[in-house]
Amino acid sequence: MANIDLTAQKNAEQWLGSDAIDSLTKASIKDMMQNNIEQFNESFYRNLEFGTGGLRGIMGIGTNRMNEYTVAMATQGFANYIIESNPNKEIKAVISFDNRNNSKEFAQITARVMAANGIKVFLFKELRPTPELSYAVRYFGCDAGVMLTASHNPKDYNGYKAYWNDGGQLVSPHDTLVIEKVMKITDYSQVKIQENLDNITIIEKSFDDIYLEEVLKLSLNPQIIKKHSDIKICYTPLHGTGITLVPKALEMYGFKNINIVSQQAIIDGNFPSCKSPNPEEHSAMEMGINLAKEIDADILLATDPDADRVGIAVKDQSDEFILINGNQTATVLTYYILKNLKENSKLKGNEYTIKTIVTSELIKKVSESFGVKNYDVFTGFKFIADKILQLEGKEKYICGGEESYGFSIGDFVRDKDAVSACCMIAEVCAWAKEQGKTFFDILLDIYLEYGFFKEELISITKQGKQGAEEIQNMMLAFRKNPPKTLIGLEVVRIKDYQKQLNIDLKNNTEEALDFPKSNVLQFFLEDGSKVSVRPSGTEPKIKFYFGVYNKLHSIEDYPELLKKANEKISRIIGELGLK
């Protein structure tokens, strides 16, 4: 039988001794201590960490769980920082939520705490996508924002994304300073919270049109859309917020043949039709693919619960529906946008795109071929938003993406935006059809022109306290004993972002990396292949990113080249002991 963890016991006793914690919660704590010690330890062994991405965790009772108390305490710490950072002015914040169980309740608790602290609060009346929240921060001139969502995590999770006045998620120095404020809230009695939603401005459905007007402005080829308005689009919101905006946005663009996966259009935080509402996973896309096959669709679009990420499926050379990964989608969108801007003489020489360090190098090649600068940033869209903020008024942001299915166009939203991405992907399909091609044909054209880049991601989940320690030990082992060779190829360079070092193993030299510290390692092989390793900042996972490159001489060679690339990645994975 498991023993009670001493830290867990101490944290639980604080709750049990507090007049602010309700009697039902106290009874549940006592029951756990007596009948489920393992669950008790997991629920109380630490305080749920308010990390640089905000809160994310399993819902339930305990200091290490998402519940009304941990959400309120985190909000009090965040409110303290917002107030301290904005002296002698009216302070405003906007709050939204997705379809997850308790998201609406957590959003209302967040609003009530903010309001009790004298902050003017704008609260969305109904669930809405993350990109609309990001846009609302700047539209209403707010100092901060909060989105209640756990993105694509399984149904047991919820989360809390914190935004600053630029509409982007918290970055340095705000992220660490907010964490310090949150950590000082050690007891629920420190929380100011009003009983109701008085003095809180409710954002009505009419605000959707203001946001969608900005999305519509992004369209590059309205005449081509008009000509091919009947292309068959399948769409699934995976039970989430996308259903509120994506179909309407596609219709505003001019698309008339939108077929929604009805079973997954039901807003439901239990995600009854999919184990995990993640458009990266085939199981989540299966219903959509079946409908796409049934109606012979041109494309399947899928958005995650808070509609900031988009996954797609298209027909390949053999007329089989395949999933297109985030690297491929971002590459095609970047190519389409830049090519059309160039052809219409809209590139003036001060434009740029952004990608993350683990995203395909093909995006950089495509951008530079159009005379557009490409910037690398850390993994996480908040770093893309931060780069936009840094360059505001100096250079013009066109678009940016990351391998994990996030993309944004234009700077009116400072987070990934699946609503605008869905519209632009559909527009690419219409543009391709005008040339007698498909979305997949455009991807092959890019490979033929720039080279074939193949990427793959493996995520290893390690739950709980023991899992966190295992992930830490894996990173330590890679640092102490990095691979010297992989599949017979020499490792010629290592980038260690924790140590901020670029290590050239061929010449035995080191130089400083012009990046902030982060727990990321990258290994570069002599043929240009790349392996990146990092623990997730929002999930109990360690992630391995693989990228290989080959020259594609003809489109007919693609199937064989793809097979060889997959074999190469598989061998690297095997040698790293990840199979």
Q: Which residues contact 115 (CB under 8 A, 6 or more apart)?
A: 121, 194, 197, 198, 199, 200
DSSP 350: -
Q: Is 331 exposed, middle or buried (0-12, 13-18, 19+ CB in 10 A)?
A: buried
Angle between helices 439-450 and 362-369 (to 10 degrees): 80
**For the residues of 351-394, what is the DSSP string, one character each?**
EEEEEETTS-THHHHHHHHTT-EEEEE-SSHHHHHHHHHHHTTT
Q: How far apart are CA 162 and CA 468, in angstroms?
A: 23
* Residue 326 CA: distances (Å) to CA of 311, 368, 406, 565: 7, 20, 7, 17
- CB of 214 within 8 A of CB of 277? no
CA angle 404, 409, 410 (to 5 degrees): 140
Q: How many residues does the chain have?
A: 579
- CB of 285 within 8 A of CB of 279? yes
Tell me the sheet residues that pair with 259.
Answer: 234
Element (H, E) at 554: none
Other Cβ atoms within 10 Å of 180 Cβ, number: 12
Q: How far apart are CA 306 and CA 132, in angstroms?
A: 10
- CB of 242 within 8 A of CB of 129? yes
Q: Tokens at residue 534, please?
A: 């990092």
Q: Tokens at residue 388, please?
A: 């936009």
Catalytic residues: 151
Q: Is 332 exposed, middle or buried (0-12, 13-18, 19+ CB in 10 A)?
A: buried
Element (H, E) at 457: strand 452-461
Considering only CA atoms, which of 249, 241, 247, 252 is closest in space to residue 277? 241
Element (H, E) at 399: strand 396-402
- CB of 411 within 8 A of CB of 209? no
